[in-house]
Every structure is written in C-alpha cells, then in structure tokens.
Amino acid sequence: MTAISTRDNRPPDIVFVIFWFAIGFAPCSSAQVELEGFCANLPRPAYSAFEKHHTSNEWFEVYEVEPNIWAIYEPFQWQEVISYLIVGTDSALLFDTGNGLGDIRAIVDQLTKKPVTVLNSHSHFDHIGGNYQFDNIVSVSTAFSLANSRGIQNEMVTTEASSEALCKALPSGVTQGSHQIKPYTITRKISEGDVIDLGDRKLEILHISGHTDDSIALLDAEAGFLWTGDSFYEGPIWLYFPETDLAAYRKSIARLAALAPQLNALFPAHNTPKAVPALLLGAQQAFDLVLEGKAEPVPMWEGVVTFQFDGFGFLMREDNTQL
Ligand SMILES: [Zn+2]
C-alpha cells in the first residue's frame, strides 16, 4: 500500500521521474527540479478562492469553504489530503484525520468546542492517521476497516514521511523511521442510510464501495453538498490497489453522478477542496469508456497505467482495466 506518486494531474513522465526518484533508483538533478516545482505550486491556486484561517499549527492549512465547514489541508505532503470539520449547532463531525504527521486534534480544538465525532471516508492510511487522537469514532464495519483500525506499521507508510514526499520538514517529534498509523477504537458502527445529526445540519451516509469496500460519501441533501472521499477528486483517482473493486466502483460513481443535478458542491478528499458536481457525470461517462476499452491508457510505471480526462483521471493496473 506504499504510495508512489502524488495525487497530482501532472504529465505522466513527471510522475514517473518522481516515482523513480522516490524509491531511490534515479536521484538525478532533473527529478529534484521537478519535485521542487511541484512544491513551489502549493497550495494550489484553487485555494485563493477561500479565506485562510490562521492557526498556530504550521503543518496544516485551514480554509473556510462554506460557513462552518473547514477544509483542513496538508499541502506539504504529496498526498495533499483534505480532511473536513463540519460544525453544527449541537456537535461537530471530523470527516477524515489525515496522515497522522501533524497534530490535527490541536486544529480541531481551535476551531470548535463542541463534541466531535470522527468519521472516515475510508480507511486508507492517509485518511485515518489522526484517529488515535479522538475517542468518538464511528465507522462502517468491513474486514478492511477493522484491519486498518489496528494500525499500520512503519514499513508500510515510511515513504509517506520521506524527504521525497515532503515539501517542508516534518513536525517536531515525527521522523521517517517512527511514522506509523496508530491503532484506534471504533466506538460505534454505522451503515448505509444512517444520518448524523449535528443540530442544524444532517449528514446521510452513502456506502459507495469500490475504491475500497469501506468507502462512503456524506450527503447534506438540504444544502446540496456531497463529500466524495477518494471516490472522486480532481486528479488521478487511484484504482490500482488490490482492495479496489472496479465493478463496485462503476456502480458507485454512477450513483454519485445521479445525484449531481441536486448538488451545489463537492468536497473531495485530495488536492482541491470544492469541485463542481457536473464533474461526477463526466467521471461516470469516462469510467464507462475505460471499461469498454475505448480510452487510451498511458503507461505510468511497471504494471500501472493512467487514463486522463479533463479535470480527473483513473490510475489502474494494466492487467485490470476491464470487467
Ligand atoms: Zn484511498
């Protein structure tokens, strides 16, 4: 599960160079230049549309993307993961907790004094890293989510804390050799159709397996907001892990696309914090083209190809692009 490229939509050759650079085979000066170029463009220009909230934490950047909805962004690590704090009149929901490199609890404590529930878009390492800092964690219950709740060892995530993955020094006390995903306790199980009531905002769980079997989306039907996790973001969507089920993903992206006419905004889990709902319709159509063999694969690294479309793409195993 070690990550080997960023979530960027850069040309494949650049990602390829960074990949080889990251695993230490080709630490050439051109790769260094590309990595520096990547870092120089962070945070992404899309963030200039939002008000940046000052915090004392230097690892995360916090943006208020809607009133009482905070995007907690990790712009200095190649996953560019985004967690969201959604604050209601009674309580708050933290949707994902990032890589576990920075102190996300400190950020949350600065933003709200209300009781906080943690819910993960899915249990990949880059979304559950700060779970251990919280004692109220709700989760869907699958073998994958339960396994990941027991923690992920350093050897599986060490690349995530390597210099090649970072655009600034790690927070103090964190090293590449010590970084791990710490275990956490799921305090309540949830499932499809459950509603989390924050007082003035209700959030419905949509269990949309595919990217992983525990992937969910969060729907605020009244506001027309959809948190998509890793099932959709503006970048190459990773569908090459063994835990990905392409047939399930096809159904899930179709389900999300059907919601698009009722939506006002998407809040994805990587790269940019607010996306246009119509992109879901494009993603559904594009994924169908891929599965039908009508899209052109571009080689990325051994055994992995990408299919690029306008605003997003699909990163897939070369031998697993069709049903
Ligand atoms: Zn993921």
d(CA 202, CA 21): 45
Strand spans (E) along 58-198: 61-66, 69-73, 82-87, 92-95, 116-119, 137-139, 188-189, 195-197
Could you tell me if 96 and 66 are in contact, meaning their C-beta atoms sit under 8 angstroms apart?
no
Tell me the CA end-to-end span of the chain in Å, nearest whole number: 23
Distance 122 CA to ligand 1 centre (A): 7
For 88-137, write each residue's pLDDT tens digit. 999 999 999 999 999 999 999 999 999 999 999 999 999 999 999 999 99
Task: Please list, in sequence order, all residues whose beta carbon lies within 8 angstroms of the beta carbon of residue 296, skipping any fewer than 6 positions away.
Answer: 307
The pair of three-digit structure tokens given for residue 64, joined into one six-digit string: 């208020």
State in Å: Cα 293 to ligand 1 middle.
24
**Ranges of each domain in the chain:** 12-317
> 219 with 203: CB under 8 angstroms?
yes
Spacing, Cα 124 to ligand 1 middle (Å): 5
- Residue 262 Cα to ligand 1 middle (Å): 25
Q: Which residues surround ligand 1, an ion (CB under 5 A)?
A: 124, 230
Distance 217 CA to ligand 1 centre (A): 13
Report whether 205 contacts 196 (CB < 8 A). yes
State the distance from the centre of ligand 1 to the C-alpha of 1, rounded, in angstroms: 10
Q: Is the peptide bond before 11 cis (omega within 30 degrees of 0)?
A: no
CATH T-level topology, domain 12-317: Metallo-beta-lactamase; Chain A (3.60.15)
89 CA distance to ligand 1 middle (Å)? 30
What is the Å distance from ligand 1's center to 228 Cα? 11
Backbone angles phi, psi at 188, to 5 degrees: -155, 140
Question: Could you report the per-residue pLDDT of 170-181, keeping only the tens digit for each?
Answer: 999 999 999 999
Q: What are the residues whose beta carbons fall under 8 Å from the beta carbon of 32, sequence distance 6 or more?
A: 21
Q: What is the whole-number distance in angstroms between the Cα of residue 182 and the centre of ligand 1?
A: 17
198-239 per-position pLDDT tens digit? 999 999 999 999 999 999 999 999 999 999 999 999 999 999
Q: What are the backbone dihedrals phi and psi of residue 172, each rounded to the nearest 5 degrees, phi first?
A: -60, 140
Distance 211 CA to ligand 1 centre (A): 7
Pairing of strands 137-139, 188-189: parallel
pTM score, whole prediction:
0.91
Residue 284's pLDDT is: 98
pLDDT of residue 36: 77
Q: What is the pLDDT of residue 240?
A: 97
- Cα(205)–Cα(262) distance, integer angstroms: 16
Tokens of 84: 């969201």
User: What is the sign, positive or negative, of the torsion defined by CA atoms of 74, 75, 76, 77?
Assistant: positive
Could you tell me the distance, in angstroms and rounded to a whole number, from the CA of residue 238 to the centre of ligand 1?
7
Total Cβ atoms within 10 A of residue 311: 17
In the prediction, which pLDDT does 30 show?
54
* Cα 100 to averaged position of ligand 1 atoms, centre (Å): 15
- Ligand 1 centroid to residue 230 C-alpha, Å: 5
Contacts 24+ apart (CB under 8 A), 58-64: 58/171, 59/101, 59/102, 59/103, 59/171, 60/98, 60/102, 60/104, 60/107, 62/107, 62/111, 63/273
Ligand 1 center from residue 223 Cα (angstroms): 26
